Structure 1
Amino acid sequence: MRFLMRGLVGLALMAIMVGFAGFGAYRLYGAMTAEETARQRPARERSYTVNVAELAPQSISPITTAYGQIESWRTLQLRASSEGRLVDVASKFRDGAAVAEGELLLRIDPANAEFQFLDAEAALADADAQKAEAEEAIVVAEQELEAAGRQLDLRRQARERQLQLRDKGYSTAVQVETEELAVASLEQALNNRLQSVITARKRIERMDLTVQRAQLALEDAERVLNETTLTAPFYGYLAEVDATLGRRVSPSETLALLIDPSALEVRFSLSTAEFSRLLDDSGKLIKAPVAVTLQLGGRSVEVPGHIDRAAAIVTEGEAGRTLFATLDIEVGTVLRPGDFVKVDVEEPELSQIAVVPAAAVTEDGRILIVSDGDRIDEIRARVLRRMKNEVLLADVPFGTDYVRERLPQLGKGLKVTPRRVDDAGTENSVPVAAQVPQATSRPPGDLIALEPERRAALIEQLNSSNMPENRKARLLALLNEPMVPKDLIDRLEQGRGRKG
């Protein structure tokens, strides 16, 4: 009986061994058959989903961005005209104060100026009196000259009668000589009177000059007296004020600066290439419009203007050109000389160009386009401008779709599935390229839907990681799918937990 039981157990064990061996042979045969079938079945080509847009011709005015400083072309130094003590200082005579045209700013002690003015007035009155005296003297001299001329005429008539009487024998030679001596004496007196008239006339001319000098001296004294009162010649802001009541000032001493807020301009520099774009066909600088932006914390102040001129010289070591732009300033502007501002210069309009994202173009102008059969091809375009996140291209095949995000996974001849977006990328806010190959599939249980907050946190974690860019791009593409692999979410969240 015992022998029989042992024989049955042995048979059962042998049957189990045979069964396992047969199952293993079946599995081996199935695996070999599946591998052979997989080898015989043609492989499916991978296809990547990419964002594309059409190369459309546009006309645009490029913007060149530069940085410069605000300056004032109308800044006046307020100086003391004479030496003296400040006897009156306006309460608004302080740094940063706004003063109106003609407003009193300060007054210097006018005592010395008033004395000089009174002395000049007296000198002018004395000169006028001497001139009047000279004018009266010439009247007398002319009358005396006229009387001497009449006396000379009478003496000449008397001499003629004596000569006639001598010829008739009624007069002697002595009488004739006496008349001739009288005539000669009157002629001498007449010459003296004539010289007196000439001298009187010259004296009047000299007195005219004396009166003019006295008038100039009076005007100068009046100017000095008026300059003891300092007023604002135009509306502006005060700066560098250095004046206190009772302080003595010296002539030509600078007491403050007056800055005209309506006479502001911006000084900025451009490279030689950027400067050449602002020249017309004749080589002259165009009056291109500009927009000056001043950042005040979270607020921006923008002021329009236009280019006015270029600097007269190029300083040593300077590359490019320095330009000046006139600003359209409104009353009460917050701009001040010395402000550091951003200057956007609007260049002449360019036509028949394509505007593409910077991520779609290499440094030498190569872009990826989608050719027939949804395959990628590469062309080289001419780069005209680079403006922030956009690039202006010329010599491109308009009407062709191009890849908006150029990533290392994409290459010439690769088959893609285009996903069209507009130029602003409104359909897909997250760049999509090199997604999971469409030939592969995951079991439905491995994919889950993510809440927006959880999805944003995982994307932020992935962007801040030190992962290679190509791998990071693939994972980002997965995270932006409606259904995300669960194992990927687990790995990212576990990595975040270990990091914390």
Structure 2
Amino acid sequence: MRFLGRSLTGLFLLALTVGLLALAAGMVTSAFKARAERDSAEPSASERVFSANVMTVTAQTIAPKLTAYGELSSRRALDVRALTGGTVTEIAPNFETGGAVREGDPLLRIDPTDFEFALELAKTDVSQAEAELRDARAALELARDDLDNATRQADLREAALTRQRDLVERGVGTEAAVETAALAASAAQQAVLGKRQSVITAQARVSTAEAALRRSEIQLDEAERRLEETQITAEISGILTDVTVLRGGVVAANEKIGRIIDPSALEVRFRVSAAQYARLLGADGRLANTDVTVRLAAAGLNLTATGRIDRESADVGEGQTGRQIFATLEPSPGMRPGDFVTVIVAEPALPDTVLMPASALSAQNEVLVLGPEDRLSSAKVELLRRQDNDVIVRATALEGQEIVVERTPALGAGIRVRPVRSGEGIAPEPQAEMVTLAPERVALLRSFVESNDRMPEDARERILAQLDTGILPADTLARLEQRMGH
């Protein structure tokens, strides 16, 4: 009997062990199956959608603006120099740095005493030379009269000799009388030669006197000019600067004592790169007279002037790059030579181009294009110019399509967006789908939420409040059921 009881007990324990092993195998199998179903299930979370500003690509003809920086200078400037040395005896009240002068205004006077003495001496020399010239001309007239008289006497002597020879031929004269008449005629001819020499001498004296008079007149003109140089006047209208002399000071010849600048005749010189310079050349390969705009920012006040390109430098310049260009400006009140300004040059227009914000372009010159279902795709464009915060591109293939104007790290190809167009506000968030729950389902979900220790407290309270209403968002319901293993 004892053996039978122990056998039955062993069979019971064996059956119990087998049953427990079967139960454990079933539980493990169910666990693996549930895990496999959970891993293979599609996520129930909704796709995240970003808002993005978009613009429509419209090709147009755009004239790019080249921006450079330059310095203003005056096209009319003159150094005020002392043409002669001496002591400054008079000075104009406005002869000071910043003083405005007009053309012809007297500026200062250098002591003219020595130059006045020199002028008087020059006048005296001229008077003396004029007197000498008068005497020489009078002597010439007398010499010519003597020559005429001697010529007449010689003619008479020749006539007498001819008459004596006629008498000898008729036999009524003597040879002695002929010889006497011949000697008298020869003496008369000799006198004529002497008078001619006197005339030549008188003419030379006149020439010498005329040369002396001319030399004296030149010296007189020089003395007058030197005296006039003691009075310094303004040769152009403008504003004085760099004035370095006072009344009573001594200046040397050719010493710079100031400078006159005309602020109404301004030009700007600016430097551009070789590539920018090439874009400003005309069809003939020469620099075009393009319009320019000059801006000066002064304590919040923007001063603007317009002008045209006038010329360019002949060389690059030692230690420089690019090209230096000069532009003549219209009168621009408020600007002065030496101001550092921004120069905007209008380039030749580019057809079939698009102006867009620089934030729309990636480093690879790509833009994000809005496609079907508001999903983005990437497209390549040709970058032509950069202008401040904008770019000019050629995107013929994207005509009429919409692109994102502000790229962010969250945006890329395949991302779905809510487009925000110009003049429109941000599209509202789509309303979540709500599901009405049965009471027994609400009780089951409430029990799961209350027993879940890993759920944040604020999320638990929010879900319990929604369960009290019997209505729950579809995405929240899907997440809860997924965690419950349903």
User: Normalized against structure 2, the TM-score is what?
Assistant: 0.76
CA apart distance, 1:413: 3.3
Q: How far apart in 2 are the matches of 1:147 and 1:441?
A: 148
Alignment of 1:401 onto 2:378: no
* In structure 2, distance between residues paired with 1:394 and 1:278: 20
**CA deviation vs aligned residue, 1:109-153 (integer Å, no higher than 9, x gap):** 110111111111111122222222222222212211111111111
Map 1:343-422 to 2 at 5 A.
343-396=343-396, 397-421=398-422
In structure 2, the partner of 1:182 is: 184
Q: C-alpha displacement at 1:184, in angstroms?
A: 1.8
SS of 1:291's equivalent in the other structure is strand
Matched with 1:315 is 317
Could you report, residue by residue, the CA deviation over 1:214-265 in whole angstroms, capped at 9, with x for unpaired residues? Answer: 2222222111111211111121111111111111211111111111212221
Following the alignment from structure 1 to structure 2, what is the Cα–Cα distance between the partners of residues 399 and 203?
A: 102
Q: What do residues 149-200 of structure 1 show as CA deviations (whole Å, max 9, x unaligned)?
A: 1111111111111112222333333322222222222112212222322333
State the AA in 2 paired with 1:412.
A
In the alignment, does 2:354 pair up with 1:340?
Answer: no
Cα distance, 1:162–1:375 mapped onto 2, change above 3 Å: same
Deviation at 1:41, TM superposition (A): 7.9
**3-state secondary structure, aligned to 1:384:** strand
Residues 102 and 234, structure 1, Cα contact 8 Å, conserved in 2: yes
Query: What is the one-letter code of the residue matched to 2:340?
Result: F
Matched residues in 1 for 2:240 and 2:67: separation?
Answer: 32
Once the 2 structures are TM-superposed, how far is the Cα of residue 404 of structure 1 from its aligned partner?
A: 0.7
Contact 1:48 1:438 in 2 (8 A): no
Counterparts of 1:82 and 1:41 in 2: how far apart (Å)? 100
1:439 shift after superposition: 9.8
Instruction: Find the counterpart in structure 1 of residue 306 from structure 2.
Output: 304
| 1:373/1:140 CA distance change after superposition, 3 Å | same
Aligned residue in 2 for 1:459? none
Residues 46 and 439 in structure 1, CA contact (< 8 A), matched pair in contact too: no
| Aligned residues with identical type, % of pairs | 38
Superposed CA RMSD in Å reads 3.0
Displacement of 1:36:
5.7
1:2-28 Cα deviation digits (max 9, x unpaired): xxxxxxxxxxxxxxxxxxxxxxx9xx9
1:119 and 1:427, CA in 2 relative to 1: closer, same or farther beyond 3 A? farther
**Structure 2 alignment gaps of length 5 or more:** 1-26, 435-486
Alpha carbons of structure 1 residues 341 and 149: separation in structure 2 relative to 1, 3 Å = same
State yes or no: 1:288 paired with 2:296.
no
- 1:486 corresponds in structure 2 to none
Q: Which has the larger radius of gyration?
A: 2
Partner of 1:328: 330
Deviates more, 1:155-164 or 1:310-319: 310-319
SS at structure 2 position matched to 1:158: helix
Give the TM-score of the pair, scaled to structure 1: 0.74
1:485 alignment counterpart? none
Alignment of 1:451-462 (within 5 A): none
The equivalent residue for 1:260 is 262
Which range moved further: 153-162 or 61-70? 61-70
Deviations 1:441-466 (A, max 9, x none): 99xxxxxxxxxxxxxxxxxxxxxxxx
- Relative to structure 1, the CA distance from residue 354 to residue 441 in structure 2 (aligned partners, 3 Å threshold; closer, same or farther) is farther
Cα offset for 1:96?
Answer: 1.4
- Structure 1 residue corresponding to 2:107, chosen from 105, 117, 122: 105
**Larger displacement relative to structure 2 (341-350 or 203-212):** 203-212
